Every structure is written in C-alpha cells, then in structure tokens.
C-alpha cells in the first residue's frame, strides 16, 4: 500500500568533494524519487539511474497486476491445481505474505485481488459497488493464502486464487534499490517508491534525512510529525485517500480478508519503522487491517515501531508504540 509521506526539502551546503544528486520518474502507477550524496568513486548519476531503472523494470515484469504478461498475472490466469516456475523475488514475496497472513490470522492476505475487483478497487474492477452476499460468497472461494504453496522454484495453487503484491512490492523495491546504491559505494541516500521509503547516512551538510508524516486528511497535506531517518524503512498505510461512499457509509480500499469487506474501524492511518522497507510496508497494512486496538496490541507484543492516527469525535488522536518512541526519540530532527 502506498505510503503518505512528504520528504522535507534537502538543505544545501555540500562539501567540496560531494554533491547531492536527485532523479525520479513514474513507476507502479505512481512515482519514485532518489536522492543521494555523490562522493569520489561513486558512478555517474546516469549509471545510478540506469541501475535503478533496471530494478524497477524487473519488478514490473515480475509483479505487476496491471500487465497481462507479468509473471504473477500469468500465474493468476492459471486454473486450480496448477504450478508455474516463478522468479526468486516472486517466491520471496509469497513467503513474506504467508508470514504476515499467519501473524494476522488471515486478515492480511495476498490473494484478495478478486475481492478488490468485486468492490471496485482492483485492476480488473468494473466500478465501485457494494456487492451482495451471494457475490461475496462466490468470490471468497477464490481467496486464501492457504491455497498457495511453493514447490522448489514453482508456485502452485489448489484453488483459482490470484496474487496481488501491491501491499508489499513498493517496500521490496525500496530495499532492492537501497542495496544497489550501497553496492555502488553510496552511503547516504533517501529512496522513495510510491510513498514507501528508506534512508541512510546524512545530507551533505551533515544533517539527517527528515521525513514528515502527513495527517490523515483527504483535502490537503497537513504535517502530523517529523522524524529523522537513518538505516530503516518507513511506511504509512491509510484508508483516507482511496474510498467511496454509498448511502452515507464510507467504504475503504483496504480489505480485511477474514470479513471479505473494507475495514470499518476508527484507525485512519498507521506508520511503521523497520530495518526492511519490505516489512515496514507489509506491517503497516497488517496493523491498519487489525485496527486501533488489535493493531496496537500486536505492535506492542511484537515490539513493532508503530505510530497510530485514530479518528475521534473532534478530529484525530495519536498513539505511539514503545518501540516507535524509542526510535523517534533517538532520531529526533
């Protein structure tokens, strides 16, 4: 799920042997942006940009649900009791999805694409709608991570399930790009893909990379909190940008696989800090699905650094896990 962050402007003031480089562009139906400190021995910005472009193109070819020739869509088109050889990154994300599904008792699920399409949020949707009980019952037969299994290099399914990586693919892309930058000798960077991000090191003037967390408003950008980021990924999941209304009721694009319906609780957004952007991405979605109480209890039990923004009668209230307070205090801007 796309994060909702606004990277603060980078302050000028580079040293004589270093400079700040920036580039970006469209990806995954949204955008990406890279900022890094160029020092001696680091390849040219053109070469860095080519390396990043190669990673994003590969992920698109393997995981996009918006192109029929991607590896995952070819798998999704297969009938029940089928297997298909898949690239190692696809199998890696399936394993992560299995882990998150088990940890949430099935609320988080990578196979909800048919439900997303039914409600009007998926790549093959036919418009926003509130489906009836019969339609939901039929689609639920094609949902469930338990129907997936990995056999060697093959991904298999015993029901006609469809896999959707949108809840974790951007975080995975951030980690891949960050690892590539490090391999190229880049020690200070801020990588952002569709709102998921990771940063390390410092800006050329020695100050930290700072990120502003947005308040959950769909009419304007309002800063909720500023944190400094060094060596970890940051992801925010929220239900306030993608939704529709019917008969005075609000339907979020975030679905609970257990209920086969959009979440209906008061948690508006949750931010997670984690050494891996992939896990920050997945965990922020998981906590949003669980809601303000179950999500809070899960974060505290598992020492997850999480920042919750909850709807209240007169606006919003915030709540931070102990792990989040430790990390944000140590990295105060």
* pLDDT tens figures, 104-116: 999 899 999 889 8
Let me know: does 283 contact 104? Beta carbons within 8 Å: no
Nearest Cα to Cα of residue 184 among 56, 53, 59, 39: 39
Residue 119 — very low, low, confident or very high, per pLDDT cuts 50/70/90?
confident
Q: What is the full DSSP assignment across 206-265?
A: SPBEEEEEEPS-SSS--EEEEEEESSEEEEEEESSSSEEEETTEEEES-EETTTTEE--S
Comparing 178 with 117, the larger pLDDT belongs to: 178
Q: Could you tell me which of 56, 54, 89, 55 has the C-alpha nearest to residue 71?
A: 89
For residue 68 the two structure tokens come to: 């029929």
- Residue 24, pLDDT > 60, answer yes
Average pLDDT, the chain: 88
| Cα(263)–Cα(312) distance, integer angstroms | 16
Q: In the prediction, which pLDDT does 6 show? A: 41
Tokens (6 digits) for 123: 């790549």
Burial of 247 by CB count in 10 Å (0-12 exposed, 13-18 middle, 19+ buried)?
exposed
DSSP 8-state symbol, 202: B
For the segment 86-100, what is each residue's pLDDT rounded down to a tens digit? 999 999 999 999 999
Give residue 243's pLDDT: 67
Q: How many CA atoms lie within 13 A of 111 on its CB side?
A: 27
Return the half-sphere exposure (C-beta side, CA atoms, 13 A cut-off) of residue 122.
21
The number of angstroms, rounded, from the C-alpha of 154 to the middle of its chain's C-alpha atoms is 25
Residues 161, 282: Cα–Cα separation, whole Å: 20
Question: Which secondary-structure segment (H or E) carries 277?
Answer: helix 277-301
Residue 167: how many other CB atoms lie within 10 Å: 27
Tell me the pLDDT band of 17, cut-offs 50, 70 and 90.
low
**3-state secondary structure (DSSP) of residue 328:** helix
CA 283 – CA 273 distance, rounded (Å):
9
Domain 66-157 of CATH type 1.10.3980.10 = yes
| 3-class state of residue 145 by DSSP | helix
Q: For the whole prediction, is pTM greater than 0.95?
A: no
Nearest to 194 by CA among 218, 177, 215: 177
From residue 4, how far is each of 7, 95, 134, 196, 214 by CA, in Å? 10, 26, 35, 8, 6
Residue 222: the pLDDT is 55
Grouping H, G, I as helix, E, B as strand and the rest as coil, residue 318 is: strand
For the chain, the structural domain boundaries read 66-157
């Amino acid at each position: 799920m796309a994060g909702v962050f606004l990277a603060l402007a980078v302050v000028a003031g580079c040293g004589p042997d270093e400079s700040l480089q920036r580039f970006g562009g469209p990806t995954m139906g949204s955008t990406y942006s890279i900022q890094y400190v160029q020092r001696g021995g680091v390849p040219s910005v053109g070469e860095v940009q080519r390396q990043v472009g190669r990673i994003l193109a590969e992920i698109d070819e393997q995981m996009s649900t918006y192109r029929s020739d991607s590896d995952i869509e070819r798998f999704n088109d297969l009938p029940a009791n089928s297997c298909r050889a898949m690239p190692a990154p696809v199998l890696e994300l399936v394993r992560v999805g299995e882990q998150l599904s088990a940890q949430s008792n099935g609320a988080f699920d990578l196979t909800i694409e048919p439900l997303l399409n039914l409600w009007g949020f998926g790549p093959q949707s036919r418009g926003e709608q509130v489906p009836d009980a019969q339609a939901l019952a039929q689609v639920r037969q094609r949902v469930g991570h338990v129907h997936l299994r990995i056999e060697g290099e093959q991904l298999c399914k015993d029901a006609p399930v469809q896999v959707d990586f949108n809840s974790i693919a951007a975080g995975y892309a951030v980690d891949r790009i960050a690892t590539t930058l490090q391999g190229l000798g880049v020690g200070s960077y801020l990588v952002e893909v569709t709102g998921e991000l990771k940063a390390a090191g410092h800006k050329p003037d020695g100050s930290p990379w700072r990120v502003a967390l947005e308040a959950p408003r769909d009419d304007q950008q309002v800063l909720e909190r500023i944190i400094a980021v060094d060596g970890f990924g940051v992801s925010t999941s929220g239900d306030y940008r993608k939704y529709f209304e019917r008969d005075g009721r609000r339907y979020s694009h975030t679905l609970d696989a257990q209920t086969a319906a959009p979440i209906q609780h008061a948690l508006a957004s949750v931010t997670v800090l984690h050494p891996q952007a992939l896990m920050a991405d997945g965990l922020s979605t998981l906590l949003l699905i669980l809601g303000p109480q179950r999500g809070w209890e899960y974060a505290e039990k598992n020492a997850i650094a999480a920042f919750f923004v909850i709807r209240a009668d007169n606006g919003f209230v915030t709540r931070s896990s102990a792990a989040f307070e430790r990390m944000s205090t140590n990295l105060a801007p």
